[in-house]
Structure 1
Amino acid sequence: MSIRDRLPKKSPPKAETKHDPLWVVEGTPSTKALYQAVNLEYNRLSEIIKSGNAANPKDRKLVLANIAKIAGRDRSLINVRRQPELCDYIDRLNEELEKLTDLHKGKPNKSKQLTKRELEREVGILKRREKSNSEAELRAIVEAFFASHLLDDINKQALEVHKLRQENEELIDRVTRLQKQNRQLSSEIAILHDLLTPAQRAKMGGLRTVERSKNDE
């Protein structure tokens, strides 16, 4: 065995740095590529925010579609189910970008001064916005007014319907009682009729005939 064979063999260098988290070191090639893309995009956005040029909301937040494009991967790979650690990492970096934005948004951009025309345009936009807000508030007040009166009318109609229903139920109950009383009287008349003698029945028939004649006159 040669001296060279006795020397300890060095392990091949790892592609990941010692600062990479374990989920990246042990992750798939897609995880590693997306992780590197997130860091590149974060560094780029940080510089834009610090320079005061982050007027576009997309320049202040990590956009998943951009990360996937930089990594050369499909956007569908970036989801909580398939890449939970990566999604959590992106959320934390977005919080850092938000803090960075709050820190630098008060700094004016000295490299760009608004012209008179641009200032007039901004004033026009603010006036139109104020007018739109005033019209929206007025419309809301009018709608609330009519809605309130409409509700009053509905309540009045509901009370009237309730009152009519009660009266209808009372009439139905009265008719039911009269029908019951009529059936009881008919039953009693039939019983009394059975108790009469033939002569009394004949007399009753004669009285009914006379009564009908008087009614016909």
Structure 2
Amino acid sequence: MKPLLLDLYSGAGGAAMGYHQAGFEVIGVDIKPQPNYPFEHHVGDALKFVADHGYEFDAIHASPPCQTYANVTAWRGNQSSHPDLLDPTRDALSTTRRPWVMENVPEAPLRRDLVLCGSMFGLNIRRHRVFETSWHAFQLTPPCHHHAGLLAFEHKGERAYADAMGCTWMTNVEGRQAIPPAYTRQIGLELRLQLPLKETA
């Protein structure tokens, strides 16, 4: 059987697709309905869901809303109107005794276990995201390659941006908040190596 991963604050499933490609069965949770999410999905509060059901999963990914920390707020509104969920999410993940991954924008106060960009994977996008993990270690990754012509923030409202990330099933609006599946595919392959260690701990 495939290991089961809980995808908190799921959005439309960019992270979920990468974990699926890495061999996980994925179940998503978000406070809003996500009709384009490609796997089983539940509408609900992420923190409550992980408190009630986190023990049922082999691993957990969480992408708390980034509006509190993101520098660019043109389409996000007032930063002060968004709750800071990083510390509550980290605390909730830590109580599950499962390996976990938390993702956010580079400005967020996460431990920088891994920083990924689309250009590392040959994608035509510049999109940096920081990942903190329960096991604190990652294999080396190639450097960014910010060549001319990369799609960046100013292209986030365009269909081409979501497609360049590999999120072809999403709307362009959903793609604004997604991460490329290539990121979590790589993370998922390493995460799977943590599962036997966790099971025998």
TM tier, smaller = under 0.3
TM-score for both structures, normalised by structure 1? 0.19
User: Rg bigger for which structure?
Assistant: 1
